[in-house]
Amino acid sequence: MEPQQRDAVTGPGAQAGATDPQAGTGTAAAETGWKGTLALSYPPSGPDGYYTQMQHDFIGEIAVAAARKGYDLLLSPGNHADDASFQRLLGERRAAGVIIMETRIPEDDRIEALTEAGFPFVTIGYTTQSDRSSWVKLDFAAMAGACVRYLADLGHRRIAFVNRPEGLFKTGYESAVLGLEGFTGALTELGLGGQAYMCEDDAASGEACLEQILRDDAATTAIVTMNEAALGGVYLGLTRAGRAVPRDFSLVGVAAGRWAEQATPKLTAADVPAREQSQVAVDLLVERLTSPDAPLRRVVLTSLLSVRASTGPCRPLPETEPGPGDLRGLEDLGDLEF
């Protein structure tokens, strides 16, 4: 029997009965324990329905930010509006307001459901429905493009892109879709060659992806990655292939600063400001609850590239000969629908 996903309430001020499904439903619940609770709609993206370690970091940051505002945090793992967890949150009004993460583009059905129900919410991320709420987002396209331009300045001419899992991409997962747009746009602008790869969120998949990259194009000298969870496997694959970082191969990515610092060598990255995003999201939601008639607010966060030890000047291997720039392999992604 598959384990059931359950909602979780975290926070030092959790009220008695707040985690009890029988504590109340509908308006009664909203008027009791759930009044001091914010909900986080955050589907797990790791293998087999688990949260990745990076997702755990975000959950922790949001829980701390909520507690500082006097709220507990309820975690709902529902991925779609019709998932049981999300339906409990919505139907029983289990929180005063909702933060939506892992938004999908062009549209996210959770946003539609909350709008129709008149349920206060904000999003971490952007969709075409973002005129309906306050939100905070990162410009993933710009960040991925900046990674490519930095590698080009170092002389790299054949660059691979390690993206998130194909299943997430097909659902319109914001960072995966916009990251790919930024990567391909920068390659075209600069006349570079490269291919893009979908990769599952684990080290074994990262190693397999690296092996495929080198089989497809042994002249590749650099990688831009959006996949923190696969990074350890990419490093291991390079070591087994005899490619020293950064002497023979450069790595740069969009990643949380803590994870970039823990990599060996430390990863040059556009650091994801998880703490700042979390604090802004909680602030925006509390504003909606305390001043519902105030104008909506939209916050775009930027992240400068932190140069660390994983990047260096291009040093092509003697047996490889980089060819003219092309987008070979990227055209196959045009058939994916979301």
**pLDDT surpassing 80 at residue 323:** no
Residues 211 and 213: their CA atoms lie apart, in Å, by 5
Residues 308 and 304: their CA atoms lie apart, in Å, by 12
Q: Which residues, in sequence order, are CB contacts of 134 under 8 Å at separation 6+?
A: 122, 284, 285, 287, 288, 296, 297, 298
What's the chain's length in residues? 338
Range with the lowest mean pLDDT among 26-40, 127-141, 166-180, 321-335?
321-335
125 φ, ψ (degrees, to nearest 5): 125, 170
Residues 177 and 337: their CA atoms lie apart, in Å, by 11
Q: Which residue reads 């001020």 in tokens? A: 13
Q: Which residue reads 């909203």 in tokens? A: 30
Q: What is the pLDDT of residues 115-160, one digit of tens each?
A: 999 999 999 998 888 788 999 999 999 999 999 999 999 999 999 9
- DSSP for 275-293 reads HHHHHHHHHHHHHHHH-TT
Q: Mean pLDDT score of the chain, rounded to an integer?
A: 86
Q: What is the pLDDT of residues 19-42, one digit of tens each?
A: 333 333 344 444 445 889 999 999
Q: What is the pLDDT of residue 10?
A: 40
Residues 163 and 194: their CA atoms lie apart, in Å, by 13
Q: What is the pLDDT of residue 274?
A: 92
Angle at 191 between CA 187 and CA 195, to 5 degrees: 45
Q: What is the pLDDT of residue 124?
A: 96
* Strand 305-306, strand 268-272: pairing: antiparallel
Q: Please, are residues 162 and 223 in contact by the beta-carbon 8 Å criterion?
A: yes
User: What's the one-letter identity of residue 62?
Assistant: I
Residues 5 and 217: their CA atoms lie apart, in Å, by 42
Range with the lowest mean pLDDT among 30-44, 238-252, 285-299, 323-337?
323-337
Q: Is 94 helix (H, G, I), strand (E, B) or coil?
A: coil
- Per-residue confidence band for 200, with pLDDT thresholds at 50, 70 and 90: very high
- Per-residue confidence band for 318, with pLDDT thresholds at 50, 70 and 90: low
Q: What is the pLDDT of residue 54?
A: 85
Residue range 202-223: average pLDDT? 97
**pLDDT surpassing 50 at residue 315:** yes
Range with the lowest mean pLDDT among 179-188, 288-297, 319-328?
319-328
Radius of gyration of the chain (CA): 21
